[in-house]
Amino acid sequence: MWQLLLNVTVAIWAVICLVWLLVLYFADADVMLLFKDKFGNGPEILEGQVVWITGASSGIGEYTAYCLAKAGCRLVLSARREDELERVKAACLLQGRHKLSDGDILTLVLDCLAFDSHQGAVQTVLEHFGRIDILLNNAGTSQRAPWMDIELDVDRALFELNVLGQVSLTQAVLPNMVERKKGHVAVVSSVAGKLGIPHSRSYNGTKCAVQGYFECLRTEMSQFNIDVTVLCPGPIFSNIFLHAATGKHSEQLGRAMAKTEKRMSTDKCAHYVSVALANKLYEAWITQQPWLYLLYINQFFPDLGRWILMKFGISYLMKIREGQ
């Protein structure tokens, strides 16, 4: 009797695992995010909320702004290029034409490296909207270079932009949220913050640091009813390589992505980002295979995950990283 029960239990568990693996094979996000996308809150639940997006002039930030504008969110769009922010604002007003007016979207030029300007920027937003409901820290850059060829100044520069810029602005925004005992902080990390991706030590290091800083923030802010979401996208179509760092200080990669590369579309990624915000997820993985499999293996079987990464080899990992 007990042997039969054990066999049935093992068989059921095997079927569940097989179904889960098959579902995951066709997935482009983690299971919880997919579930919330299907059965949870849609972005429209955020209607009327004030959402501040950094790095809003292109890529994930730009397309997330469109998605949230369509949902009826009031927006603060920040980046360094004012003309690009105005272009994105005009497109947002079209997306939210039945819900938003000109005053519902504020363009605010911001350099994440100008730390002394962050408090003033927060004050400008508060004077305009009276509150900040969601801060989406999206500004940052990528990198390509072998580990041994990277100058230490590149590490310093990327850490200031990808990490301290987000930390500084978040610290400036938090007092308003703490006072209201309500708010939501999100940060764009990366698959590289979870896995040891080759040829980008500075980028990998900054994204691992982002994970640590904002995991700490989540724990501390729970007493104030402030949510924290860490977003981990994989290969996404954008123009990030044009301004990506290399191994030399102040040098840019200057490469455009080819349309034939295997990457998630920017608007699909933005949709998932918006769903993660709407459902206040702790962490969201937004990526196609094989990265999704690698993330789960690394999460539950870390030694096996690292062994697989090493066995794949640098050439294969770089190939799939570049969407080939």
Residues taking part in catalysis: 203
Q: Which residues have a Cβ under 8 Å from the Cβ of 48 and sit 6 or more positions away?
A: 72, 73, 74
Q: Count CA within 13 A, CB hemisphere, residue 102.
A: 1
Whole-number Å distance between alpha carbons of 262 and 12? 35
The number of beta carbons lying within 10 Å of the beta carbon of residue 45 is 14
Count of C-beta atoms within a 10 Å radius of residue 174 = 20
Place of tokens 């040891």: 196
Q: How far apart are CA 118 and CA 92, in angstroms?
A: 24
Omega of the bond leading into 175 within 30 degrees of 0 (cis): no
Q: How many CB atoms lie within 10 A of CB 175?
A: 11
Q: How many CB atoms lie within 10 A of CB 101?
A: 10
